[in-house]
């Protein structure tokens, strides 16, 4: 007898065959926007968390969004203990396999000297907001330039000049994904979570293509 559990197991196993399709090919030069969102693995236990002041771990889904089309180029799952900049290096490298990445836009969570130097070595322009305390006399050239412009003209002027406002594409994608599929992954096993998010990515990109064409 076919029931919900059987159908779900078949869908998850189907996703395992699609993990290799994680990357979406992009034609021509591409600007990617990086962002992440937290995802609770378990819905239950909130009362115990508040009652005993215990912090429950959660996962983070990192997305690389095509700034021109809004489609997901690549995603990666990580725990909340891994810094965003560490995941970003891997995501940029994988995204370059899907297209010619020329610029990376990210918020302050990706403000890492190692990440910025990694991008510059690959010939990618980093558009990442530096900290207020960022120095203008040391560090990567792009970071020094951004810190100097923000100091002299303010954040809004810098954001308008370099196009940092393109971050809204990633924020919109995350909001749409949560509205379409919810904030809690039904899967519990990591490999099934990857399959589930791969299927969600495929469906999201297909829906976006149907709307924009």
* Residue found by looking up tokens 């995204």 in the block: 95
What are the backbone angles phi and psi of residue 42, rounded to the nearest 5°? -125, 135
Using alpha carbons, select from 165, 160, 112 the residue that is nearest to residue 134. Answer: 112
Here the CATH number for the domain that contains residue 71 is: 3.30.420
d(CA 27, CA 172): 22
Produce one character per residue of 53-77: b if its CB has 16 or more CB atoms within 10 Å, e if not.
eeeeeebbbbbbbbbebbbbbbbbb
Average pLDDT over residues 196-201: 80
d(CA 3, CA 35): 37
- pLDDT score of 108: 85
Is 3 inside a domain boundary? no
pLDDT digits (tens, 9 = 90+) for 85-104: 888 998 888 888 777 889 99
Domain that holds residue 166: 22-212
Using alpha carbons, select from 151, 104, 94 the residue that is nearest to residue 128. Answer: 104
Is 13 inside a domain boundary? no
Token pair, residue 174, equals 């995350």
Look at the chain and report how many structural domains it folds into.
1
| First-residue to last-residue Cα distance in the chain | 40
Adjacent-strand bridge partners of 62: 36, 76
The sheet with strand 59-66 has its strands ordered as 72-79, 59-66, 29-39, 100-106, 125-128
Is 84 inside a domain boundary? yes
Is 16 inside a domain boundary? no
Instruction: Report pTM.
Output: 0.77
Is 15 inside a domain boundary? no
d(CA 128, CA 104): 8
pLDDT digits (tens, 9 = 90+) for 141-183: 888 899 899 988 998 999 999 999 888 888 888 888 888 887 7
Is 153 inside a domain boundary? yes
């Amino acid at each position: 007898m076919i029931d919900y559990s059987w159908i779900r197991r078949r869908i998850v196993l189907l996703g395992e065959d699609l993990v290799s399709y994680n990357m979406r090919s992009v034609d021509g030069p591409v600007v990617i926007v990086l962002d992440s969102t937290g995802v609770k693995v378990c819905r239950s236990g909130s009362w115990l968390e508040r009652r005993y002041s215990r912090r429950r771990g959660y996962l983070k889904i990192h997305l690389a969004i095509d700034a021109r089309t809004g489609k997901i180029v690549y995603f990666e799952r990580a725990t909340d203990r891994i810094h965003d900049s560490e995941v970003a290096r891997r995501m940029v490298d994988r995204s370059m396999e899907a297209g010619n990445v020329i610029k990376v836009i990210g918020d302050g969570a990706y403000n890492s000297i190692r990440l910025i130097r990694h991008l510059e070595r690959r010939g990618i322009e980093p558009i990442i907001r530096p900290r207020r305390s960022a120095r203008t006399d040391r560090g990567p050239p792009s970071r020094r330039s951004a810190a100097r412009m923000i100091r002299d003209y303010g954040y809004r002027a810098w954001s308008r000049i370099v196009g940092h406002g393109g971050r809204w594409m990633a924020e919109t994608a995350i909001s749409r994904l949560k509205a379409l599929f919810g904030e809690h992954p039904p899967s519990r096993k990591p490999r099934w979570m990857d399959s589930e998010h791969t299927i969600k990515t495929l469906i999201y990109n297909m829906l976006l293509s149907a709307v924009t064409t």
